[in-house]
Each structure stands twice: as C-alpha cells, then as structure tokens.
Amino acid sequence: MSEEQQKSYKVYLGGKWIETAEKIQITDPATGQKFASVSTLNREQVRSAFDTAQAALPAWRGITAKERGAYLNRVADEVHKRADEIARLITLENGKPMAQSKGEMAMTEDHLRWFAEEGRRAYGRVVPHQVPGKRNMVVKTPIGVVGAIAPWNFPLVLGIRKAAPALAAGCPVVLKPSSQTPLSSIAFAECVEAAGIPGGVFQVVVGSARMIAEEFLTNSICRKITFTGSTEVGRELIKGAAESIKPLSLELGGLAPLLVFDDCNLDQAVQETLVAKFRNTGQSCIAANRIYVQRSIHDEFVKRFVVGVQKLKTGPGLDPGTDIGPLINQQALDAALAQIEDAASRGGKVLCGGKRMGSSGFFLEPTVIDGVGGPSLCMREETFAPVAPIATFETEDEAIDVANASEYGLSAYAMTRDIGRIFRLAERIEAGTLGINDGAPTTSNCPFGGVKQSGWGRELGIEGLDAFLETKHVSFGGM
Ligand code: NAP
C-alpha cells in the first residue's frame, strides 16, 4: 500500500483539520478493498460549520470581486501543482482511468479560473425611469452561505462547479462530497488553505447524508442548497425545502438519447458515440443512454461501433492505457447486469461484452446490445455503466419523438451534417445540452443543467454565477 492509501483523512472545518472517532472507510472499486478512512461529523459539528461560515460572510462579501478572483486563481495554482497527485486519489476512490482523472483536474482548474474572472462581471443595471423624479437601479448581491452536495461520479469537479461560482459571488460554502469519494474534496480543501482563503469561507463536511441534508434544509444560515445527484434525492430535497422555501439548484439524473442520422460522417459519429457512451465507464449523468440509428446506415454504424468498443481496454484505472475502469460498487454492477439480462430477454442481441470481468473489483465488459426495444429497462432507466443499447428510426420526426419520450432532459446528442436539421433539433430537442457531433459537450463557459426531471437551474457559464446572486431593485424618489 502506498502512503496515501494508509492515511486516515481529517475534515476541514472553520479553517482547522478535525479528526473524530467515528470514521467511514473508503473502498477502491478496482479491488473492492478498503484503503482509507475519513472522519465523520455529527449534527452539532455540521451546525457549527454554518455558524463559522456566517461569521466569515461579512469579510468575504466585503472584499472586491477582483480580490476574491485572485484567491480563486491561487487555489487554481495549487490545484495545478498537485494535479497528478489528486488525480491519483480520484482514481483510487472512484475507479476512473488516470487520464480521465487528470481531465477532471484540468476541468476543475478551468472552472476556478473561469469564475475567478466571471465574479467581476456580476453586473446590475440602471434602468430608464418611468416616473418623473424617480430613478431605478438593479443590484446583484451574494445570496449568503451555501450548502453544496456532490455525487461520486465526478468526485471533485462537480463540487467545484458549485463552490467556485459561490465563492466568486461572495458566498461562503459548506461542501458535502459523496461519502464514497470524499478524498479529492479533502485534498481540494488543502489547496484552499494553501491559497490563504480565510477559515470558514470554504469547509468540507462528511457524514450521514440524511443528517447533513436535514441541517442544510433547516438551518436558517444556509440560504441556498445546490445539489448534484439522483432525481430521487432531488425530489426529497424539494419536499424538505418546502417548509423554509429554501432556494434549490438541482442537477439530477439523465437518460440521454443519441441520434445517428444517415448524413453523418460515419467515422466521426462512431468516435463521438464511443466518447458519449463510455467516458467515465458510462457513469456520467450526460452519458448516451439510448442510441438510435437511422435504418439505412444501421448495419454499417453498428459494425464500426462494435470494432471501436472491442478496442477499449478495461482494467484498473491506475494501469496505463486503461479506457474503462470498474463500476463504483457491487450494487452498480448488479444493476447493469440486470439491465443487460432484461434487454436480452426482450429480444436484444448482445454483440459484445455482457459479462462481469474477473472476481475482484467491479468490472463489466463494455457491452453493445442491438435491436433493443423501448420497454427495455436500459431505454427507460439511467444505465450508469458501459452498456450501449441500440435501436433504429426511419425519419427525423420519429427520432425527435423518441428522443423526447422521457421524463428526463439533461443532455442529448445528434450526429449529422445537415445544417437545417441541426437548427430544427436545437429548437425541438428537450434537453439542457445538445451535442452535435460532440460526445463531450461540457465547458466552463457555457451553461449546464437539465429540463423536466433532470433538474432546476444552470451551472457554469454566466448563469452559473447568477445562481448565487440575489437581484435587488433600488428605487430612488425625489430626484
Ligand atoms: P445520490 O445517491 O443522489 O447522491 C448524491 C449526493 O447526495 C451524495 O453526496 C449523497 O451522499 C447525497 N445524498 C444521498 N442521500 C441523500 C439524502 N437523502 N438527502 C440529501 N443528500 C443525499 O446520487 P449518486 O448515486 O451519488 O450520483 C449518481 C446520480 O447523480 C445519477 O442519477 C446521475 O445522473 C446524477 N448526476 C447528475 C449530474 C448533473 O449534473 N445533472 C451530474 C452527475 C451525476 P452519500 O454519498 O454520502 O450517500
């Protein structure tokens, strides 16, 4: 075991590193073995995080956006310096291939730098008055202390997608990472400390999700909850927020359709579909869940796609050249195997993969299933695994109808070179993000989020900052 694997991790509270008797164990999905432990907090300690954040708020809100940006850039410098080491932690706790963990680090740094700049553009406006002697102005103010909850699939970057804009806007943040993958967020807190951000401005809490969420929901200091995770938990948060009318941003589940039209560049379409489906071992909220291919090119697309899938190398994320890592845990593996069995039992043809690999860790062979019908589980439920179900369509209208026939609307993909069609899809597809010949359509400078049951609000882009700002009208009389 390497040094970091034996470490017992503390949590970062009020600018101090806290060790408690109660610990959770962290499992390496590549081996199924526990390799680290983390201190957990009780309700009292989580509450104290909010008191400390509230105490830090006036000074943090009071400095200029330019100064806050300078702090965030210093955090980004620390992240940059430690990118390989923290990427290794991500791979250990989450399982993803090292190259992708490094990609997550690069995106984390980019989010920090984007919001370091964007904080300076929290513009209000002066509005031409309608009543003589009056004047009207709109100002933006930080919303206050923020509670952020992040999932395990992108353990660091999804938390920072919340923390960076909140901090840039002038809001202290209490971040709760997933208890399956808290290590990279703890390492990030070290970067925050090294950058000199005052204690209490950014804190990490680890412990029972239900207890922490309850504190976020009921503590009046917490002015906003920003959550990324399942639609099921998002729904619980909405119910819990009803009492205090707590504002929520929700990044929830997806069931992305990917449409391959017969005018596409076939090689490019295959390549981008491989990325859209298999990045992060299929455990991405924007992963292509359902692949629909226009009938006239179906056979050729499937032939080339299967060749591409068979070239993907599955193994531990730390092994050089790995494309596909393990799934996060046994439950995820069982759920994926159940979806494969269900699709096959309904007439789907497994063209490659379909089975567990090895007996330690949670590896699944990258799988392609053709001729999958609409009622199959993998066409209706989030798959979160390297399983690619394929069906066919005849016309553009039919493709749009099947794409929209879901309660989710996070992302969608289309492989086509027809400019008219691209505009029609942009107008009619019900999703927060549409990737045209692009299997990885996420970037710091553009909004990200879902429609329908995929969530409320947007992260990233200029919208990402606005999520942590209040809008106030100031009206002047007797002018
Ligand atoms: P999850 O079970 O909903 O957990 C997400 C976070 O919520 C974790 O920190 C978890 O803590 C916490 N949590 C669990 N139960 C809670 C409760 N009752 N109240 C408040 N918080 C609670 O989701 P996941 O399995 O980690 O992540 C996968 C899901 O996230 C998928 O559905 C995926 O599509 C979605 N996702 C969405 C986006 C997006 O941007 N829209 C991005 C990534 C993932 P513990 O880990 O400690 O239980």
Q: What does pLDDT average to over the chain?
A: 97
Q: Give the model's pLDDT for residue 84.
A: 98
Residue 411 · residue 432 · CB < 8 Å: yes
Residue with tokens 């990279």: 184
Q: Is the CB of 206 under 6 A from ligand 1?
A: no
Q: Is 367 helix (H, G, I), strand (E, B) or coil?
A: strand
Indicate the pLDDT class of residue 327, thresholds 50, 70 and 90: very high
Per-residue b or e along 83-97, where b marks 16 or more CB atoms closer than 10 Å to that residue's CB: beebbbbbbbbbbbb
- Per-residue pLDDT band for 297 (boundaries 50, 70, 90) equals very high
Q: How many whole angstroms separate alpha carbon 107 and alpha carbon 129?
A: 43
- Residue pointed to by tokens 């999700």: 209
Tell me what percent of the residues of the chain surpass a pLDDT of 90.
Answer: 98
Judge whether 148 and 247 are in contact, CB under 8 Å.
no
- Nearest atom in ligand 1 to the alpha carbon of residue 328 is 25
Expressed in angstroms and rounded, the spacing between residue 162 Cα and the centre of ligand 1 is 14
Helix 298-311, helix 266-278: angle, nearest 10: 50
pLDDT at 5: 47
pTM: 0.97
Whether residue 163 contacts residue 189, with contact meaning beta carbons closer than 8 Å, is answered with no
Per-residue confidence (pLDDT) for residue 268, from 0 to 100: 98
Amino acid identity, position 417: R
When pLDDT is cut at 50, 70 and 90, the band that residue 458 belongs to is: very high
Buried b (16+ CB within 10 A) or exposed e, 166-184: bbbbbbbbbbbbbbbbbbb
pLDDT band at 107 (very low <50, low <70, confident <90, very high): very high
The DSSP H or E segment spanning 79 is helix 65-81
Q: Tell me the C-alpha distance between 280 and 103, whole Å.
A: 11
Give the pair of three-digit tokens for residue 98. Answer: 């090292």
Residue 207, ligand 1, Cβ within 6 A? no
> What average pLDDT does this structure show over 184-199?
98
Q: Ligand 1: does its nearest atom lie under 6 Å from the Cβ of 253?
A: yes
Pocket test for ligand 1, best of 174, 252, 279, 330 (most atoms within 8 A of CB): 252
Is residue 186 within 6 Å of ligand 1 at its C-beta? Answer: no
Beta bridge partners of 350: 369
112: tokens are: 């920090």
**How far from the centroid of its chain's Cα atoms is residue 355's Cα?**
27
Of 171, 222, 264, 285, the catalytic one is 285
| H/E stretch holding 49 | helix 43-62
**pLDDT attached to residue 468:** 98
In angstroms, the CA 396 to CA 423 distance is 12
Question: For the chain, what percent of residues have pLDDT higher than 70?
Answer: 99
Nearest-angstrom CA–CA distance, 226 and 223: 10
Q: What is the C-alpha separation between 39 and 126, in angstroms, rounded?
A: 49
Closest to 295 in 3D by CA, of 368, 391, 374, 388? 391
> Considering 109, 118, 193, 251, which one is annotated as catalytic?
251
- What mean pLDDT do residues 349-370 have? 97
The one-character DSSP state at 153 is S
What atom of ligand 1 comes closest to residue 229's alpha carbon? Answer: 30
Q: What number is the average pLDDT over the span 69-85? A: 98
CA angle 453, 455, 460 (to 5 degrees): 150
222 is catalytic: no
Q: Is the pLDDT of residue 239 over 70?
A: yes
- What's the mean pLDDT in 424-439? 98
Kindly report the length of the chain.
479
Tokens of 468: 């942590």
Do 83 and 105 contact (CB within 8 A), yes or no? yes
Sheet (strand 23-28) strand order: 8-9, 33-39, 23-28
Residue 1, pLDDT > 80, answer: no
Alpha helices in 289-418 (DSSP H): 298-311, 330-345, 377-380, 396-404
pLDDT at 164 over 50: yes
Which one, of 327, 301, 263, lies nearest residue 390 by Cα? 301
CA of 267 to the centre of ligand 1 (A): 35
3: confidence class by pLDDT, cuts 50, 70, 90: very low
